[in-house]
Chains A and B, each alone.
Chain A
Amino acid sequence: MNIWQKLIIVAALATIIVVAGTIVYFNYVAKRRLIISTTSSLYDTKLLDALETDYEATHSVDIQIISAGTGIAIQHAENGDADLILVHAPAQEKTFLEEGWGENRKIIAYNFFTIVGPEADPAGIEGKTASDALKAIAAYGENLADQSGVTKIWASRGDNSGTHSKEQSLWKAAGYNYTEVSAEPWYGDVGQVMGATLTYADQKNAYTLSDIGTFLAYSKEGTISSVALLTEEKSLLNVYSVMAVKQTVAANQSYHEQINYADAMDFIKYLVSTETQQFITDYKKAEYGQSLFIGAVQPLKDDAPQPVVQWIKDFAFFNGSECPPQYRNGYPELYT
């Protein structure tokens, strides 16, 4: 055997050892994995880290959280790379269920978006409704002396996330064509997660739509100086839900064996349990003086407080239910 053959064999062996080692390690040595793909606002507030630690203390499962945004989370699920997704874009979630990618949806928490901006509030949106605020901002933008695009008055996620979806629907509700308004010179398309977008808005003295959790985290640290300017209203409702990824993919009937369905369902049950729901509502409440996220399970059961619960139903229910029966699969206790 000449040296070339020897070298090729050594190289091939090394690769095989690394790959095989990884496969063996993950399938036989390491704990079972539960891969959760989530929206960045849940992750960046470290709520999920806290839940992970709590869950892993009593369950022999290794939770792996991939935080990248609603759009990507859905993509992961479609590829079979995630067992569970935690997102906050009801329209996209509906499509997700209808296309047969997921099942057993539960709404687990809610909070409100707000529009934040410079303390001086040049467009004068404080206290307005979301619609009026956006109109004021657009008007202010159009009247800016600098129309070159350097001066921005609005920062957008621009990344297909839940927050971005909400932003788009707000513009639409205010009577604007989103494609046109996003092409305006004063409209800043940041294309990044909430934290980065908030930083950008702060730097540019612009307004932006943010979930309350990320905003509080950033402003408490003193990282940004923007202030929240709007009060809670229906159009600013932000609803977080969880869905398990199906093992059988409807489209091509392929079986994603690696989907850890059992643990996913266990985790969903955990999320909707009374203790966890309380934990979520209490999370960092003392620190910020208000809840970052409010558990939604009990309110939905109690049908209170109003008008919030009605808003949730209007906004995030499909055909009158958080999970229409055809998208359920076992676990009847989840839907009593």
Chain B
Amino acid sequence: MAVDIFASIIKAMELIISGDPELYGIVYRTLLFSGTAILLATLWGTPIALAISLKEFRGKNTIKAFFNSLIGIPTVVLGLLLFLAFSNGGPLGFLGLLYTGGGIIIGEAILVAPIIISIATTAIEAVDPDIMNLAKTLGASESQAVVAVLKEAVNGVLLSNLAAFNRAMAELGVALLVGGNIAGVGMRTDVLTTAISRYTQQGAFDLAIANGIILMLIVIAINMAVIVARKAKMLLVEVKPWVERIKR
């Protein structure tokens, strides 16, 4: 097979530097869909995680195990289920979500919600159980006390977002089946993973690899940025008081 990895890397650089509109459009959509999906999943998942960790009820462990097991659902399976649901012949066809970015967003949100729920639940459970009573005795209402607990768990929740982001960026099944990988002129639903799939189908292997490289670069860059930001924040908290002292 005449595929030159090196040539593909060069191609990737070319595309990025030249501001290739096709590429940038695909990247924009990828980030838009995955980003919104994470936001949605966090809005769904955080209340569920709070409910699971803060309330006592029978079958708690079963529910936790249930969400844990959904983390690894094959994306193509979910994509197929959603396709059947959103199809005009299916029960949710009236929403008109098939072949739209909105459909991808909701599909990916469903995909990553279990990740957020699982990790956030662990993070919230790790918070000192007395925090809730502490907040209350300092005058907090039930709502405010829950917020206080959430604040203590915020690092874990952010981590869950990062994990969700990685999964959403890398998935193919949902975006492909629900979005339809529509390219060309006008409204498009192709993202990095589905574009790679198309280039591969069309035999444009160098483009496929180039896009693959770009996808990896984005994921790595964002992950590193988060790590650096946390380290910086920690350092800042440590260093600040000493800086103040030295000043005085």
Q: Verify whether A and B have any Cβ pair under 8 Å.
A: yes
Contacts of A26 in B (CB 8 A): 96, 100
Q: Once bound together, how far apart are the Cα atoms of A208 and B207, in whole Å?
A: 25
Q: What 0/1 readout, one digit per residue, does chain A (186-228) give for beta carbons within 8 Å of chain B? A: 0000000101101100110000000000000110011110000
Report whether A18 and B105 are in contact in the complex, using a CB–CB cutoff of 8 Å: yes
Count residues of chain A with CB under 8 A from any CB of chain B.
55
Q: Once bound together, how far apart are the Cα atoms of A199 and B189, in whole Å?
A: 27
Q: Is B63 an interface residue (CB 8 A)?
A: no
Report whether A202 and B89 are in contact in the complex, using a CB–CB cutoff of 8 Å: no
Q: Once bound together, how far apart are the Cα atoms of A218 and B202, in whole Å?
A: 8
A-contacting residues, B130-168, CB 8 Å? 142-143, 146-147
Neighbour of A30 across the interface among B89, B187, B205, CB < 8 A: B187
Contacts of A23 in B (CB 8 A): 95-97, 102
Contacts of A18 in B (CB 8 A): 36, 40, 102, 105-106
When A26-B96, A63-B184 are in contact, do A195 and B200 touch as well, CB less than 8 Å? yes
Q: Once bound together, how far apart are the Cα atoms of A81 and B187, in whole Å?
A: 16
Of the listed stretches B8-16, B45-53, B235-243, name the one at the interface; the rest are far from the partner chain: B45-53
Report whether B201 and A40 are in contact in the complex, using a CB–CB cutoff of 8 Å: yes
Report whether B186 and A80 are in contact in the complex, using a CB–CB cutoff of 8 Å: no
Report whether B203 and A19 are in contact in the complex, using a CB–CB cutoff of 8 Å: no
Report whether A199 and B1 are in contact in the complex, using a CB–CB cutoff of 8 Å: yes
Q: What 0/1 readout, one digit per residue, does chain A (77-91) give for beta carbons within 8 Å of chain B? A: 011110000000000
Q: Is B182 an interface residue (CB 8 A)?
A: yes
Q: Is B101 an interface residue (CB 8 A)?
A: yes
Q: Once bound together, how far apart are the Cα atoms of A276 and B93, in whole Å?
A: 34
When A81-B87, A221-B2, A258-B96 are in contact, do A49 and B184 touch as well, CB less than 8 Å? yes
Report whether A7 and B50 are in contact in the complex, using a CB–CB cutoff of 8 Å: yes
Report whether B1 and A80 are in contact in the complex, using a CB–CB cutoff of 8 Å: no
Count residues of chain B with CB under 8 A from any CB of chain A.
47
Q: What 0/1 readout, one digit per residue, does chain A (24-50) give for beta carbons within 8 Å of chain B? A: 011100110101000010001010110
Q: Once bound together, how far apart are the Cα atoms of A67 and B176, in whole Å?
A: 11
Number of residue pairs A-B, CB distance < 8 angstroms: 135
Q: Is A126 an interface residue (CB 8 A)?
A: no
Report whether A10 and B96 are in contact in the complex, using a CB–CB cutoff of 8 Å: no
Q: Can you name the residue of chain A whose Cβ is closest to the Cβ of B55? A: A4
Q: What 0/1 readout, one digit per residue, does chain A (2-28) give for beta carbons within 8 Å of chain B? A: 111011101100110011011101110
Report whether A81 and B43 are in contact in the complex, using a CB–CB cutoff of 8 Å: no
Contacts of B87 in A (CB 8 A): 79-81
Q: Once bound together, how far apart are the Cα atoms of A21 and B36, in whole Å?
A: 13
Report whether B185 and A63 are in contact in the complex, using a CB–CB cutoff of 8 Å: yes
Report whether A62 and B186 are in contact in the complex, using a CB–CB cutoff of 8 Å: yes
Contacts of A21 in B (CB 8 A): 102
Contacts of B44 in A (CB 8 A): 11, 15
* A72, chain B: closest CB distance, angstroms: 10
When A7-B46, A33-B187, A46-B202 are in contact, do A22 and B97 touch as well, CB less than 8 Å? yes
Q: Once bound together, how far apart are the Cα atoms of A217 and B142, in whole Å?
A: 66
Report whether A223 and B2 are in contact in the complex, using a CB–CB cutoff of 8 Å: yes
Neighbour of B183 across the interface among A49, A78, A79, CB < 8 A: A49
Report whether A223 and B203 are in contact in the complex, using a CB–CB cutoff of 8 Å: yes
Q: Once bound together, how far apart are the Cα atoms of A66 and B102, in whole Å?
A: 17
When A21-B102, A30-B187, A218-B203 are in contact, do A15 and B40 touch as well, CB less than 8 Å? yes
* B7, chain A: closest CB distance, angstroms: 12
Q: Is A53 an interface residue (CB 8 A)?
A: yes
Contacts of A63 in B (CB 8 A): 184-186
Report whether B96 and A22 are in contact in the complex, using a CB–CB cutoff of 8 Å: yes
Report whether A258 and B102 are in contact in the complex, using a CB–CB cutoff of 8 Å: no
Report whether A19 and B95 are in contact in the complex, using a CB–CB cutoff of 8 Å: yes
Q: Once bound together, how far apart are the Cα atoms of A49 and B186, in whole Å?
A: 11
Q: Can you name the residue of chain A whose Cβ is closest to the Cβ of B95? A: A19
A-contacting residues, B51-75, CB 8 Å? 51
Given pairs A19-B97, A63-B184, 20 additional interface contacts (CB within 8 A): A2-B143, A3-B142, A6-B143, A11-B47, A18-B40, A19-B95, A21-B102, A22-B101, A23-B95, A31-B186, A44-B201, A64-B186, A66-B181, A67-B181, A79-B88, A80-B87, A195-B202, A196-B200, A199-B203, A221-B204
Q: Which residues of A contact B (CB under 8 A)?
A: 2-4, 6-8, 10-11, 14-15, 18-19, 21-23, 25-27, 30-31, 33, 35, 40, 44, 46, 48-49, 52-53, 56, 62-67, 78-81, 193, 195-196, 198-199, 202-203, 217-218, 221-224, 256, 258
Query: 16 A-B contacts, Cβ less than 8 Å apart?
Result: A2-B143, A11-B44, A14-B43, A15-B40, A15-B106, A25-B102, A26-B100, A81-B88, A199-B1, A199-B203, A217-B202, A217-B203, A221-B2, A223-B2, A223-B205, A258-B88
Q: Which 3 A-B pairs have the closest CB atoms?
A: A22-B102, A79-B89, A62-B186
